[in-house]
Structure 1
């Protein structure tokens, strides 16, 4: 069942960005880069490793290196329900 980004963030997911360098299939001396981004759980990163395994099994361009960063945008303790709003003027 698909979940919204807010639901994922409240469950502890953070935004993971990976910069993947790979070699061109026909020109092995040329490196290309690919940016991948998804919500993932640190420190195991199951989504990112699933994508890397998919890449290695199904794509021709062999991986050279992967750099990634992870940032939690909000957590359960930072979320609060606001029930009212006050406006001046």
Structure 2
């Protein structure tokens, strides 16, 4: 059985982290922070926007702001040849 996250990365998904600031329903003058993390496709972020749609329908807290960070974890690697002599004893 394969790991779902690994398969998603091979299909081009990257790790997306969203920092969601929202107003507390019981104290609307206070902001609360929620951190969400999932594998998603940039720049459209369909998984994140599905979650935010669910938030709007099911959670009473009003959103203040969302900050997104994204990085593909599996990608072509870069290497550089070393110029010099390395001696081993």
Number of equivalenced pairs: 76
- Structure 1 residue 3, shift from structure 2 partner: 5.9
SS of the residue 1:48 aligns to:
helix
Aligned to 1:21: 21
Report the Cα offset of residue 53 of structure 1: 0.6
Could you tell me which residue of structure 2 aligns to residue 32 of structure 1?
32
1:44 and 2:82 are equivalent in the alignment: no
Cα distance in 2 between the residues matched to 1:53 and 1:4: 23
What's the RMSD between the two structures over aligned residues? 1.5
Shift of 1:26: 1.7
Q: Counterparts of 2:29 and 2:5 in 1: how far apart (Å)?
A: 39
Q: Given the two structures, how large is their TM-score scaled by the length of structure 1?
A: 0.79
Distance in 2, Cα, partners of 1:73 & 1:4: 14
Residue matched to 2:4: 4
**Cα distance change on mapping 1:44 and 1:3 into 2, 3 Å:** farther
> What's the TM-score once normalised by structure 2's chain length?
0.79
* Structure 1: runs of 5+ lacking an equivalent: 79-89
Q: Which has the larger radius of gyration?
A: 2
